[in-house]
Amino acid sequence: MDGKKTLAVINEHAGGGAMADVFRRLEHPLRDAIGDFDVAFTDKAGHAIDIVRKALSEGYGRVLSGGGDGTLNECVNGFFDEAGQAIAPEAELALLSGGTGGDFRKTVGLRSSEDALAALRAGRTQVVDVGRVTFEGTRGGRTARCFINIASFGLSGLVDRNVGAFKQFGGKAAYFGATLKSMWGWRNPRVTLTLDGEALPPRPIVTVAIANGRYFGGGMKVCPDARLDSGSLEVGVLGDLSRVELMLLSRSLYDGKHVYHPKVLMRRANVIEAMSEAGVSVYLDIDGEALGTLPARFEVLPAALKLVVP
C-alpha cells in the first residue's frame, strides 16, 4: 500500500459493456493491491478528460484508466491543460483491461487484468513521451489533442468512423469489418508531409501513422521500431498501394514485415506536418478516436507522463 490518492475512471460501456463486468471483478483485488481508491464513471464522450483534470487539481496522485484505447486517450488528455502543459507532473497513470481496442497495452506488455494488478502491486513506473496533434475539428476550427499511442490519417481515419458498426465483434474482427467497408470506393488521397522542416514530395497514400506506440487497428504492428521513451515519433507511410497490394500486405502488417515493401516509407521526426490537396477531406484517427481532418501538425512531448508498467 503506497498511500497514493487514487481515482479509477471507468467507462462501463467500453467493450460493448464488458468493462462493467471487468471492473466488478477487479474492484476487490484492486483494493488489496493498492488500498482504498475512489471511482468515477464516464457518461459521455470527453467526460474522462474533465474528470481527470479535476482530480489532478484536487491532489490525486494516480489515475486508473478503465476502458479501451479511447478511454485511455481521454485520461491522458486529462493530465494536460488546453495548452499541452502537465497539470500534475508527478501524478501517474495506470491501465486496466477492457474495451474494444487494446492496442496500446500490447506495446506496454499489459495483456490481461492480472498483468495490470501485478504492475500496480510492483509500483514500477516509466516516464514516457506523449504526442500532441493540432487539426481541423469535426465542428470546424482548429483544435488540439494529445495521444499516447498512434495518431494516423487516410484509410485508418475512415475505418475509425466505420468501426462502431462492428464493435459487437470486438478487437481484430471489428477493425477487419470496418476496413472492408471503408475500402469500398476508396481512392488514395494525395498529401504533402513535412518532417522536422523537410518537405517531402506530395504523394498518394493509403495511411500515414505517427507513432509513439507500435500497434493500432486491432493488433497491426504498423510502426515496429516506435519506442515510448525515444523523444521522437515514428512515421510510417503506407504509400500508393492498390487494393490488391494492400490485401496482400495485410498479414505482414501484423508482424511488422510490411516495412520492407517498396511503397512503405519509415522515418522518425519530432514535428510532422500534413496537408491534403484542396477540397479533399482526409480523416484523422487519434488513439482510435475519429476527431477531425487534415491539415494537422503532430509533435512529441518528451518525457511527459509517468506510466505504471510491468
Q: Could you tell me which residues come within 8 angstroms of residue 289 by beta carbon, excluding any fewer than 6 positions away?
A: 70, 73, 160
Give 74's contacts (C-beta < 8 A, 6+ positions apart): 42, 46, 47, 48, 49, 52
Neighbouring-strand partners of residue 307? 93, 126
For 249, the grid coordinates are 500486405
Helix (H) or strand (E) holding 29: helix 18-34
For cell 514500477, the residue is: 124
For residue 170, what are the contacts with CB-CB under 8 A and spacing of at least 6? 15, 16, 100
Neighbouring-strand partners of residue 64: 8, 94
Please confirm, yes or no, whether 69 is among the known catalytic residues: yes
- Interatomic CA distance for residues 71 and 49, integer angstroms: 9
CA dist 238 and 235 (Å) reads: 10
Beta bridge partners of 107: none
Question: Given 36, 38, 43, 69, which residue is catalytic?
Answer: 69
Which among 250, 178, 242, 256 is positioned nearest to 214, based on CA atoms?
256
d(CA 120, CA 215): 23
Q: Which residue has 522518425 as its cell numbers?
A: 268
Cα 110 to Cα 271: distance, rounded to the nearest angstrom: 29
Please, are residues 211 and 233 in contact by the beta-carbon 8 Å criterion? yes
Question: At 195, which amino acid appears?
Answer: L
Q: Which of 214, 236, 235 is nearest to 299 (CA)?
A: 235
Catalytic residues: 69
